[in-house]
Amino acid sequence: MSLLYRYVDQPFLLSKMSQLAREELLHFEQVVALMESRGVAYQHLTASRYAEGLRRHLRSNDPERLIDVLIIGALIEARSCERFACLIPYLDEELAKFYRTLVKSEGRHFEDYLLLARQQTQNSIDERIAFCSA
Ligand SMILES: [Fe+2]
């Protein structure tokens, strides 16, 4: 969310990130409702070490730092997409349907993050994507 405060000169970035945040919050509410309907208690989970490990490689200054933040966002979305897709065959119809919508959204978020990262520079970011993906 700090992106929304730091990059006031990038309306497209702000608009995309705002849409994405709204969609993530909607998913959160949908998950909580599904859990409630199934009698599953909400529990706090600690942040994933995977994301923390990726953020350790953030470069210090913009635009490189922002590019890294966006690439890392893309990788996290791609990972969610893959994990949700793997789970679908093991879910009941209601959950499978919901997870299929999540897979679509996460795939779109992955593409949005990469688009935003590419818009930060005239240079290719492919090498940086490969570095962060390794
Ligand atoms: Fe997402």
Ligand 1 centre and the CA of 17: distance in Å?
A: 11
Q: Which residue has the tokens 């509410």?
A: 29
Residues 6+ apart with CB under 8 A from 59: 65, 67, 68
- The predicted-structure confidence for 113-134, as pLDDT tens digits, reads as follows 999 999 999 999 999 999 988 8
Query: Which of 88, 85, 81, 86 is closest to 113 using CA atoms?
Result: 81
- The predicted-structure confidence for 35-63, as pLDDT tens digits, reads as follows 999 999 988 888 778 888 888 889 999 99
pTM of the prediction? 0.89
Domains in the chain, number: 1
Ligand 1 centre and the CA of 8: distance in Å?
A: 22
- The predicted-structure confidence for 57-114, as pLDDT tens digits, reads as follows 899 999 999 999 999 999 999 999 999 999 999 999 999 999 999 999 999 999 999 9
Domain that holds residue 72: 2-133
Predicted confidence (pLDDT) at residue 4 exceeds the cutoff of 90:
no
Give ∠ CA 102-108-109 in degrees, rounded to 5.
Answer: 85
Ligand 1 centre and the CA of 115: distance in Å?
A: 15
Ligand 1 centre and the CA of 77: distance in Å?
A: 5
Instruction: Kindly report the CATH number assigned to the domain that includes residue 41.
Output: 1.20.1260.10
On the CB side of 53, CA atoms within 13 Å amount to 9
Ligand 1 centre and the CA of 41: distance in Å?
A: 23
